[in-house]
Amino acid sequence: MSLIANDYSVRRRRMVEEQIVRRGIKDQRLLKVMKEIPRHFFVDEALAVQAYGDHPVNIGQGQTISQPYIVALMTHSLGLLGNENVLEIGTGSGYQTAVLAKLVDWVYSIERITELSRRAQTVLEKLKIFNVNLTVGDGTKGWPENGPYDAIIVTAGAPVLPQDLTSQLAQGGRLVIPVGDRHLQTLLRITRKGGKLIKEELGGCRFVDLIGEYGWRR
**Separation between Cα atoms, residue 171 and residue 190, nearest integer Å:** 12
Residues contacting ligand SAM: total by CB under 6 A = 26
Instruction: Report the SS3 class of residue 117.
Output: helix
Out of 34, 156, 176, 187, the residue judged to bind ligand SAM by CB under 6 A: 156
Contact 88, 153 (CB under 8 A): yes
95 binds ligand SAM (CB under 6 A): yes
Residue 135 CB: number of other CB atoms within 10 A? 13
211 binds ligand SAM (CB under 6 A): yes
Out of 31, 33, 113, 177, the residue judged to bind ligand SAM by CB under 6 A: 113
Angle of CA points 143, 105, 85, to nearest 5°: 30
Q: Where are the beta strands (DSSP E) in the chain?
A: 57-60, 63-65, 85-89, 106-111, 132-136, 149-154, 169-180, 185-193, 196-205
Q: Please state whether beta strands 185-193 and 196-205 pair in parallel, antiparallel, or not at all (unpaired).
A: antiparallel
Q: Which is nearer to ligand SAM, 16 or 172 (CB)?
A: 16
Q: Which is nearer to ligand SAM, 1 or 46 (CB)?
A: 46
**Separation between Cα atoms, residue 96 and residue 79, nearest integer Å:** 15
52 binds ligand SAM (CB under 6 A): no
140 binds ligand SAM (CB under 6 A): yes
Catalytic residue check, 9: no
Query: Which of the residues 2, 66, 93, 109 is marked catalytic?
Result: 66
- The interface mask with ligand SAM, positions 4-43, x = CB under 6 A, is ----------------------------------------
Out of 68, 90, 142, 147, the residue judged to bind ligand SAM by CB under 6 A: 90
**Separation between Cα atoms, residue 22 and residue 134, nearest integer Å:** 33
Out of 38, 68, 139, 173, the residue judged to bind ligand SAM by CB under 6 A: 139
161 binds ligand SAM (CB under 6 A): no
63 binds ligand SAM (CB under 6 A): yes
Amino acid at 191: T
**Separation between Cα atoms, residue 92 and residue 75, nearest integer Å:** 16
Out of 89, 100, 107, 176, the residue judged to bind ligand SAM by CB under 6 A: 89
According to DSSP, the residues that pair with 209 across neighbouring strands are 157
Q: Which residues in this chain contact ligand SAM in the complex, by CB under 6 A?
A: 63-66, 89-90, 92-93, 95-96, 110-113, 116, 138-140, 155-156, 207-208, 210-212, 215
Q: Which residues are catalytic?
A: 66
